[in-house]
Structure 1
Amino acid sequence: MTKRLLTAVASLLLLANVSYGQKLHYGLKADLQFTSLHGEGMKGNFSPGYDAGIFVEYNFTSKLGIQPEVLFSQFNNKKGDDFMKYYVNSGNSSAKSAVKLSYLSVPVLLAYNVNKLFTINVGPQFSMLLYDNEDLLVKDRAAFKNTDFGAVAGLTLHVSGVRFYGRYVLGLGNINDVDSRYSWHSQQIQVGLGVAIR
C-alpha cells in the first residue's frame, strides 16, 4: 500500500523534473467532497468527506494538457434501514449504520483550457481501497471490493497560483463484494482548491 503510494508520488515528481517552462505546474490540493453509495441496502444520501493530495499539470499546447493526481479520499456513508432485507443470510443484524471508506485515488484528466481563467477537466479515475470501517457482514467479512473505477468531469478557475475547482465523479464499477446479486456504485461531488508550488 505504502509502496504504491510512494511509486505514484515519485512518478509525478519525475514528470515534473523532466519538463520545463510554462508547460508544467505541480502542487498540493484539498477539497470537501460529498459522497453517495447507491444500491440495494445502502442509504443513498450524500455525506461529507474530503480529498487531499498532489497534482501535476502539463500543457501540450496552449489549449490541451494532462493533469494526473494522487489523492487520499475519505468517504462517509450509511447503510440503509433495509440492509438485512437484501442480505439476510450474510448480513450482520447488529451492524452500526456508519460506513467509512478510505481510498487512494488516481485521476488522470484531460485538461482543455478555455482561456487563461477556465479549464475543463475530464477523464478516468482509479481508486484502491486502503481501509474500511464497517461491520456489515458476519464473520468479519468485508462488504466492499478493493478497487473502483470512475469517470470525472469538472471545471477549474485559475487565479494566479491558486486553482478553485468543482467536480463530479461517477463510479462505474460495482464495489459490492457481498455477492453478485446487487450492485453498489459511488458518486462524488467535490469543491476544493489547489495551490501550485511551481
Structure 2
Amino acid sequence: MNKILLLIFTLLIGSVTIAQESRYGIRIGANLSSISSDDITGDLDQSRIGVVVGFLADYRLTDKLRLQPEFQYSGQGNKDRDLRVNYLQLPIMLKYNITDLFNVQLGPQAGLKIWEWEDNQAGDTDFGTFDFAGVIGVGANITDNFFVDLRYAFGLSNVFDDGAGVSIDGSNRNIQLSVGYRL
C-alpha cells in the first residue's frame, strides 16, 4: 500500500512540474452506489444515493491530453444504514479530449474511510480503512469554465475489515454524475 501511495504522490508532483497550463476548480454531484457482494442478502443490497463534492486541479499535458487529480468527499455504500460508509477520495484522472466539447476519462482512485454507521445491528459490517478503485468516465465542456461528468468507479479492494473476525467480501460500485466549475 505504501508503494501505491508513493506512486500517487510521485504522479502528482511530476504532473505539476511538466504541466504547461494549469487550472483549478470544484465539482459537486450525486452518487448511486452499492457494495457488490455475494455475502449481502437481497434485502440489504439496495443502492444508496449520496453526495460527492470536491476540488480539482487540471493540468494540460498535450493538446488533447490532461491530468486531473482531485480531492473529494463521497457518500457511498448501500441504502441500509448498516452498510453506509463515507470516504475522502483522491482520484487521478487522465482525460483525453476527443473534441473541444467531449472527453473520456480513466484513472485510479484511493479512498480513506472517514465515517461508517456505528450502531449496526448485525455487528459484523465493520469497514476497512482504505478503498481502492478504478474509474472510467465521459465528460462534456459546457463552456470554457463549466463542465459535466458521468463516471463509473469499480472497487478493486475488499471494503470490509478482514481483521474483524468475520469473512465478508465486497467491493464498492459507484455511478457518479457531477457538474463543475474551472477557474
Report the TM-score, using the length of structure 1 for normalisation: 0.74
Q: Which runs of 5+ in 1 are unaligned?
A: 1-7, 80-96
Equivalence for 1:77: 78
Structure with larger Rg? 1
Whether contact under 8 Å (2:82, 2:120) holds in the other structure is no
Matched residues in 1 for 2:165 and 2:135: separation?
27
Q: How is 1:89-104 mapped onto 2 (pairs within 5 angstroms)?
A: 97-104=81-88
**CA displacement, residues 110-145 of structure 1 (integer Å, 9 cap, x when unaligned):** 11111101111101000000111243377x777100
What is the count of residue pairs matched by the alignment?
166
Matched residues in 2 for 1:141 and 1:179: separation?
8
User: What amino acid is aligned across from residue 104 of structure 2 in structure 1?
Assistant: I
User: What amino acid is aligned across from residue 27 of structure 2 in structure 1?
Assistant: K
Matched residues in 2 for 1:174 and 1:147: separation?
9
Mark the CA change 1:106 to 1:24 in structure 2 (over 3 Å): closer, same or farther.
Answer: same
Q: Does 1:29 align with 2:27?
A: yes
Once the two structures are aligned, what percentage of the paired residues are identical?
25
Whether contact under 8 Å (1:99, 1:134) holds in the other structure is no
Matched residues in 2 for 1:44 and 1:173: separation?
18
User: What amino acid is aligned across from residue 159 of structure 2 in structure 1?
Assistant: I
Equivalence for 1:143: 126
Helix, strand or coil at the partner of 1:36? strand
Q: Which runs of 5+ in 2 are unaligned?
A: 1-8
Equivalence for 2:173: 187
User: What amino acid is aligned across from residue 117 of structure 1 in structure 2?
Assistant: L
Shift of 1:19: 5.8
Mark the CA change 1:142 to 1:47 in structure 2 (over 3 Å): closer, same or farther.
Answer: closer
Q: How is 1:42-121 mapped onto 2 (pairs within 5 angstroms)?
A: 43-79=44-80, 97-121=81-105
Matched residues in 1 for 2:86 and 2:124: separation?
17
Whether contact under 8 Å (1:137, 1:143) holds in the other structure is no
Matched residues in 1 for 2:82 and 2:120: separation?
10
Q: Does 1:41 align with 2:25?
A: no
Report the TM-score, using the length of structure 2 for normalisation: 0.80
